[in-house]
Chain A
Amino acid sequence: MSDEKKDLSIRGINKRFGEVRAVDDVSLEVPAGEFFTLLGPSGCGKTTLLRIIAGLEMPDSGKILLGSEDITTFPATRRQVNTVFQSYALFPHLTVYENVAFGLRSRKFPAKEIDQRVSRRLEILGLEEMGQRRPDQLSGGQKQRVALARALVNEPDVLLLDEPMSALDAKLRAQVQVELRRLQQKLGGTFILVTHDQDEALIVSDRIAVMRDGRVMQAGTPEEVYDLPETQFVAEFLGAANLLSGHIKEGGIETDIGFLKLEKMPAWSKGTVAIRPEWIRIRDQQPETNGIQARIREVIYRGTDFDLWLDPGPIRVRTNTYKRFKTGDKIWLELAPEELVVLNG
């Protein structure tokens, strides 16, 4: 949002708490203007990494660069980085207006400019009427928007969001996710979001880094991490996946449910391939390649589609076909070679 575009570069960051490696040699590049998400289960180090970027935690080693400047040893007060805290951390004794103005007042901006900038942010976030209220008079969604306005008014190079939706109910959350995405596109700044919610990550992000035990398991666009998970963890953390283990035989893999041809041969001789439930096609007759005959064990209705749990298995197929499936029916499945993802380790 400042004139100069500043890319964020995270280089070899390490942080231990006692014996726990909260962040373990993490390197990431976040180009200016990108909506980047750190996704992972609780305790994976994503919040710690976010706090290191904010300057609220000092890494044991590694560097943080913003643009060409090394900000690793900058205090939080010198970083053009602002945070939306998980608890929002609004100042309970100040009005909404004063909360939003806080970052400008502490840097002694002229009163006129403060008023202009605060009013504009309040307007963008639909809070014009709320200026004189105190945080305890706001709903959860309003508090979240105040926290956003309070950070954005400073026009940070990077906006950090620490699970900002976790206090909202499911319906509101879905709505806010879309709004957040639009807001970022409108303002054009770098957003870094921390979340454990894979749907949220897929909806809002330009790129996602999936974290586990302090490490980045895989980083890429939502499509990349969803369609081509590199590990079992990523495959399972982002949506549902059928995991099929076996060993390599000419041109394919011999699994418990039969031989499956692969498009690209893995580097290992024993391992796992994955296929998402909605990628498995249901056929009336045996398909040419990778056909598996299966019996329907259970049909689960999900509104827009069905989940079929099958024997041999457990294999899960997701289908939106209108054809009625009954427990006990025998069907043919096609696990097309191009849909089978080879996992590492």
Chain B
Amino acid sequence: MNRSHPLITALAMCTMGFLYLPLLAVAVFSVNATKYGLVWRGFTLNWYVKLFSNELILNAAWNTLVLAVISTIIATILGTILAIGMDRFPWSGGTNTTLDLILHLPVVIPDIILAASLVIAFGLLRLVFSIFEPGLINMIIGHITFQVAFVALVVRSRLVSLGSDVEEAARDLFASTPYLLWRVTLPLLLPGIVAGGMLAFTLSLDDFVISFFTAGPDSVTLPLYIFAAVRRGVTPQIHALSTLVLLITIVMVVGTERLTRRSAKK
């Protein structure tokens, strides 16, 4: 059904332009030969090459990756178990509502509130446990806290759509609990778990606020690095870094889309 009015098409194009023009500008100036100003001086990949010799940036990239990987693994495990716990047991209506509310909290409250409460909580915990100094551990905890909710919601919706039929059929066909889990439940749940995990990973890479509030001097991530850098002034190197981050995002998004679409079809 190709039925868009020309005016709608024009407006839609303008809006897409509005979304992409700034990002395009970043990509364009990331290959501009001049170091200062925004006048086109020819094509270069120099800034990309320099990225890989910049100790600070490499360090930030490493921190970002470590943060995302560790928090995603933990959050995916916790979220999956939580989703099973919520969906596969006959909780009363009241219990369900409470669990649901807690689960939706990280989704709906502004991240700055979660960040502020974590700063205060870590501040108090620090009085007892020394590991709660601002730094990577705190950031990981912060990220897991909002990731768990998203993973659990994704996995739970997959569980709900699976229904009880298939598991009942497996029992009817003499499957013991381990056999059922291994041969039926987990394989069927896997697309949901992977989608939840990828969502968690993307959320971690994308996060700025939680990291900004909980980071220490040695745990600068790429978004934090870019933020600090652009406040001092934009450079082609930052454009190159941002373009790379953008490319990674595109790969992640397309990958997740493919995966969820395929599993939704089944």
Contacts and interface: CB of A to CB of B under 8 A. Distances in A.
B179 A106 contact: yes
A22 interface: no
Interface of A: 54-56, 75-77, 81-83, 85, 87, 89-93, 102-103, 105-107, 136, 150-151, 154
Contacts of A151: 172-173
A76 B172 contact: yes
Given A92-B188, A92-B266, A93-B187, A82 B168 contact: no
B266 A82 contact: no
A143 to B, nearest CB: 13
Most chain A CB within a 10 A radius of its CB, from B173, B174, B266: B173
A170 to B, nearest CB: 25
A223 B192 CA distance: 52
A91 B169 contact: yes
B175 A77 contact: yes
B223 to A, nearest CB: 38
Most buried by B among A56, A92, A93: A93
Chain B: interface size category: 10 to 19
B173 A56 contact: no
Contacts of B35: none
B261 interface: no
Contact of B184 (A56, A75, A91, A103): A91
Contacts of A105: 183
B53 interface: no
Given A85-B165, A87-B165, A106-B176, A77 B171 contact: yes
A154 B174 CA distance: 10
B252 interface: no
A76 B171 contact: yes
Contact of A103 (B168, B173, B266): B173
28 contacts: A54-B172, A55-B171, A56-B168, A75-B171, A76-B172, A77-B171, A81-B172, A82-B172, A82-B173, A83-B169, A83-B172, A85-B165, A91-B166, A91-B170, A92-B166, A92-B188, A93-B266, A102-B175, A103-B173, A103-B174, A105-B183, A106-B174, A106-B176, A106-B179, A107-B174, A136-B266, A150-B173, A154-B174
Contacts of A102: 170, 173, 175, 183
Contacts of B187: 93
